[in-house]
Amino acid sequence: MTGKLITAGIFVALAANAALSAPPKTGTAEQLPLFKKAVRDDKERYNFAAGKGAIFLPTPDGRSFYILWLPPDVSPQKPPPVVFTLHGHGSWAFDEFFLWHKHIAGAGIGIVALQWWFGEGETPKDYYLPGQIAQIMNEIMRAHNIRKHSVLAHGFSRGSANIYGLAALDNRAEKYILLAVANAGKPGADFPINRDIASGLFGQRPLEGTYWMTYAGARDPHPERDGIPGMREAQEWIKRYGGAVKLAVEDESGDHGGFHRNPANVKKALELFRQLLAE
């Protein structure tokens, strides 16, 4: 009976939006109203991404878009490991692309930045849910030949708060994620997927075999949620459900966005990612 409940819970989470089961859309994202709004609101960083050769593609359900960039010297048939990144609340995928690209442009690593906010509102319905993100990520990785166990999954702020459920879902299914980076956002106890995890719906150790890095800035304006106290809670949460926290960065000079502002923080994440890839 327990096995049936776990399977049912995972199915419900992954199928939260039935449209996501459709084949990926073809073509580019430029005609999507959401993409047009994103370009208007974040023109400078859109231009940065376009200038670096990024391509903009619709999500499989056609509701949103993602940014794909691969190093110019690699074959699309044999792509490198990638960073799959979730932006913070009320933000755009162009921001995460901008912040990551300068650190990995010469590192032989690609970027997939998902636009997971629908452009207005701050309620859960204004964002993709973790189950929807998981299925979108799976379809993107399959469409672009990304190998299993070769993804650094990163979430910032609200994106970080959703990375825990994403990692649990991926760990029960496709296992694309090799390293999860929770950047300034602890798991919310009131999130439905986290309640399901706490209730045992995903088993007793749904993060068994997953590897993690956390980041917290001592100057974060919301320390109990996103700063050092909050991210220490996150580390205990990860361990409680079987995950391994390989690195916990506490930046004494860092604020809420300090992970990318201090190159040493990103360097630590990429070094850990390379170590895990080599194992």
Q: Which amino acid is at 59?
A: T
Residue 263 φ/ψ, nearest 5 degrees: -55, -25
Of 173, 137, 174, 135, the closest CA to residue 155 belongs to 137
Task: Kindly list the structural domains of the chain, giving each domain's residue range(s) and its CATH number in brackets, ordered by start.
Answer: 2-278 (3.40.50.1820)
Of 13, 205, 177, the closest CA to residue 86 belongs to 177
How many Å apart are CA 21 and CA 34, to the nearest integer? 21
Provide the residue-wise pLDDT of the chain in tens; the chain has 279 residues: 333 333 334 433 443 333 333 334 457 899 999 999 999 999 999 999 999 999 999 999 999 999 999 999 888 889 999 999 999 999 999 999 999 999 999 999 999 999 999 999 999 999 999 999 999 999 999 999 999 999 999 999 999 999 999 999 999 999 999 999 999 999 999 999 999 999 999 999 999 999 999 999 999 999 999 999 999 999 999 999 999 999 999 999 999 999 999 999 999 999 999 999 999
**Is residue 113 within a helix (H) or strand (E), and if so which, with residue range?**
strand 110-114
Of 53, 80, 94, 66, the closest CA to residue 273 belongs to 80
Q: What is the pLDDT of residue 95?
A: 98
Q: Find out whether 65 and 115 touch, Cβ atoms under 8 Å.
A: yes
How many Å apart are CA 123 and CA 180, to the nearest integer? 24
How many Å apart are CA 100 and CA 163, to the nearest integer? 17
Sheet hosting strand 244-251, strand order edge to edge: 55-58, 65-69, 110-114, 82-86, 151-156, 177-183, 211-217, 244-251
**Is residue 238 within a helix (H) or strand (E), and if so which, with residue range?**
helix 228-240
Q: What is the pLDDT of residue 26?
A: 54
23: DSSP letter: P
**Is residue 177 within a helix (H) or strand (E), and if so which, with residue range?**
strand 177-183
CB contact set of 179 (below 8 Å; sequence gap of 6+): 151, 152, 153, 211, 212, 213, 246, 269, 272, 273, 276
